Structure 1
Amino acid sequence: MTAARTVDGPGFRIQYLPGPGYLRAHVFDGVDSIDVSIAMWRMLGAECASQGVDRLLVVEDLAATVETGELERLAQAMEEAGFARIRTAFVELRDDIAGNEFGEILCRERGMAIRVFSDETEARRWLVYGD
Structure 2
Amino acid sequence: MSNTRVVNGPGFRVCFDDEPDYLRAYVFDGTDSLAVSTAMWRILGEECRAAKSTRLLVLEDLMSTVDLPDIGQVVDTVIESGLRDVRMAFVELRDDIQGSEIAESLCLERGMSIRIFSEESEARRWLIYGS
Q: CA deviation at 1:3?
A: 2.0
Normalised by the length of structure 1, the TM-score is 0.97
**Deviation, structure 1 residue 40:** 0.2
1:6 aligns to what SS in structure 2? strand
Q: Does 1:60 align with 2:60?
A: yes
Partners of 2:55 and 2:13 in 1: how far apart?
A: 20
Q: How far off is 1:108 after superposition?
A: 1.0
Per the alignment, in what secondary structure is the counterpart of residue 70 of structure 1?
A: helix
1:22 to partner: Cα distance: 0.1
**Distance in 2, Cα, partners of 1:106 & 1:119:** 21
Matched pairs, number: 131
Post-superposition shift, 1:127? 0.2
Deviation at 1:83, TM superposition (A): 1.4
Sequence identity (%): 55
Distance in 2, matches of 1:30 and 1:5, equals 18
**1:98, CA displacement in angstroms?**
1.3
TM-superposed deviation, 1:18: 1.4
2: CA distance, partners of 1:32 / 1:101: 16
- Partners of 1:2 and 1:90 in 2: CA distance: 20
1-side partners of 2:95 and 2:48: how far apart? 27
Q: CA RMSD in A?
A: 1.1
> What is the letter of the counterpart of residue 30 of structure 1?
G
Deviations 1:74-126 (A, max 9, x none): 11111111111110000000001111001100111111111110010000000
- State the partner residue of 2:38: 38
User: Quick one: which amino acid aligns to residue 77 of structure 1?
Assistant: T
| TM-score for the superposition, normalised by structure 2 | 0.97
Alignment gaps of 5+ in structure 1: none
2:9 aligns with 9
Letter in 1 for 2:50: S
Report what 2:77 is aligned to: 77
SS in 2 for 1:98: helix
Task: Note the C-alpha offset of 1:39.
Answer: 0.4
